[in-house]
Amino acid sequence: MDSKSDEEVGSPGRLFDAALERLRGLFGEGWAVEAVPGFQQDPSDWYSDRMIEIRSADMGHTARYVVDLKSSLTPRTVDTELLSKLRLVRQVNSFTSLLVMAPWMSPKTQDLLRIHGISYVDLTGNIWIRADRPAIFIYTEGQSRAPRSASQPSSAVTLSGSKVDRLVRILADVRPPYRASDLAAATKLSLAYVSRLLGTLEDQLLIQREGRTIHSVNWQGLLRARAEHSNLLNLNPYSGFIAPNGVDYLLRQMRDDDFTSRRLFAITGSYAAREVAPLSVGGQLMIYIRPDHFSDELVDHLGLLEVKQQADVLFLDAHDPVVFKQSRIVGGLPHVALSQLALDCLSGPGRLPAEGEAVLERMSAHEQWRNLDIHTIKEWWAA
């Protein structure tokens, strides 16, 4: 990454100059990329627009862009600010386009800008420029994660951490409407934490609110976003085993045991995904088990052999009781809830993310699983 991405974000003037320099480096001889003199503004003013021209000497055509400078940019900013400006620019002059410059833009923000035909440049090298006359199409990829200089303030809440799954699961499983106070009571998390996290989700267009009431949740995007900040096997410490008689024999044995009826474990990963959206065969059998019920006696009873590598059975020490909530009986065995299954697969190793996408597709086609009421969730923690 160019060092300027760390140094030149302190003022809009420095951002504009650094972004313009990046653009010039992408065009070869016979092209000019220049600021329009009449639009030179106060270099300390973030709210004053600039304009640039990209000219082709050979074809004699000029592309003009109104430039919007942002110290930071989220999908919500695109939705609430840039789309209205884009409409205005196009109404004033159909030959002028909108270009946004920022220190860094997330992949989701870039996707949204491209969908609406808004060109962009960030200082890590994420660039998308289009024009019809002259014919221009440039697309480069820079950093997919925010550099330190462009990261969120320390007070911001992200989708990292172990407790966030409580809120993510409830937002996915429970249809709105509800408020932050309802979610705090349902998750047993502090209202301040829930409110800050909801603000982050709103910026990412993962929830939508009217006043204080959440009325829409993009649960598919939410599960994917959480998975990007998680790792199944890092979040849930595990022990690996080999089933000498085979996994199918082990499953039959577990189906007949008493601890199955008492919901002391729940199956996740490939074996659970296959029951929802068959995509592959084989894979490791992953089983969440309550820590106070995992013992050497259980391992001996099931005839398992502990190994460090090449395990075909993993017992996961659940990072939070939420992984057991809304578990389902499938083929006589408890499986995690669909939203938990999608999270686990999307954040898992190997082919699990592809299986997670197949599960999400099935969930989207049949949303009957989103049948919980926010006022009954408190019973989760009494169980």
Give pLDDT tens digits along the chain (383 positions).
Answer: 444 444 445 688 889 999 999 999 898 778 899 998 866 566 666 667 789 999 887 767 889 999 999 988 999 899 889 999 999 888 888 788 999 999 999 999 999 999 999 999 999 999 999 988 888 999 999 988 888 655 455 456 788 888 899 999 999 999 999 999 999 999 999 999 999 999 999 999 999 999 999 999 999 999 999 999 999 999 999 999 999 999 999 998 888 776 665 567 999 999 999 999 987 777 899 999 887 778 888 888 889 999 999 999 999 999 999 999 999 999 999 999 999 999 999 999 999 999 999 999 999 999 889 988 888 886 676 55
Same domain, 207 and 80: no
Pairing of strands 119-122, 96-102: parallel
Give the Cα separation of 120 and 25 in Å (integer).
Answer: 15
- 10 Å CB burial of residue 202 (0-12, 13-18, 19+) is middle
Same domain, 238 and 219: no
Provide the pLDDT for residue 3.
Answer: 42
User: Under 8 Å CB-to-CB from 171, ≥6 apart: which residues?
Assistant: 183, 201, 207, 214, 217, 219, 222
Of residues 203, 151, 187, 213, the one with CA closest to residue 379: 187
**For residue 156, is it within any domain?**
no
Look up residue 136 and give its amino acid.
I
Provide the pLDDT for residue 40.
Answer: 57
Give the Cα separation of 348 and 342 in Å (integer).
Answer: 10
User: Under 8 Å CB-to-CB from 185, ≥6 apart: which residues?
Assistant: 378
**For residue 275, is it within any domain?**
yes
Same domain, 19 and 130: yes
Same domain, 143 and 222: no
Same domain, 42 and 139: yes
CB 125 within 8 A of CB 1: yes
Q: How many domains, in total, are found in the chain?
A: 3
Same domain, 215 and 140: no
| DSSP single-letter state for residue 81 | I
Same domain, 200 and 308: no
Same domain, 63 and 51: yes
Provide the pLDDT for residue 154.
Answer: 46
Is 189 in a helix, a strand, or coil?
coil
Is 109 in a helix, a strand, or coil?
helix
Same domain, 211 and 261: no
Of residues 22, 17, 20, 16, the one with CA closest to residue 2: 22
Provide the pLDDT for residue 8.
Answer: 46
- 10 Å CB burial of residue 373 (0-12, 13-18, 19+) is exposed
CA distances, 238 to each of 255, 262, 308 (Å) = 22, 21, 11
Q: Which of 150, 172, 188 is the last residue of a domain?
A: 150
Provide the pLDDT for residue 6.
Answer: 40
Tally of CB atoms within 10 A around 196? 15
Looking at the DSSP bridge assignments, the partners of residue 232 are none
**For residue 309, is it within any domain?**
yes
Same domain, 47 and 187: no
Same domain, 264 and 374: yes
Provide the pLDDT for residue 1.
Answer: 40
Give the domain range for residue 117: 4-150
